[in-house]
Amino acid sequence: MFAFSDEGVVVDAEFFVESDAPWLAVILESRGGAVNGALPRNPDYTIAMELLLARLATLGSELVDAFVDSSTTAVSRILLVGSSRARCISMAVRTLPSSA
């Protein structure tokens, strides 16, 4: 699925939501491909990440965990700890609405 900006424009970065009991997981597909070429993949990745986090904050959501899952992290993490994802945070973080 794709998010829409506050102005109603489709953000070109695919994400999906799946059950990660007892929570929900929001997975934002990676950016890749030729940045200015004919086949960029999720060119609005950064915009989508900021938009999703801001909207989750507005809902008072709690960020329980965050990972980067890529071919680079898969190789290094499997060798180090047997996991294919690199953990980005080490504790739950409550997202708060912006005061601005």
> What residues does 23 pair with on adjacent strands?
20
pLDDT tens-digit map of 39-54? 888 899 889 988 988 8
Most confident of 21-25, 45-49, 78-82: 45-49
pLDDT tens-digit map of 52-76? 888 888 888 887 777 766 666 555 4
* The dihedral sign for the CA sequence 99, 50, 90, 61: positive
pLDDT tens-digit map of 7-17? 999 999 999 89
Q: Tell whether the model's pLDDT for residue 81 goes beyond 70.
A: no
3-state secondary structure of 30: coil
Q: What is the mean pLDDT of residues 20-47?
A: 83
> What dihedral angle (degrees, nearest 10) is formed by the CA atoms of 86, 33, 26, 88?
20
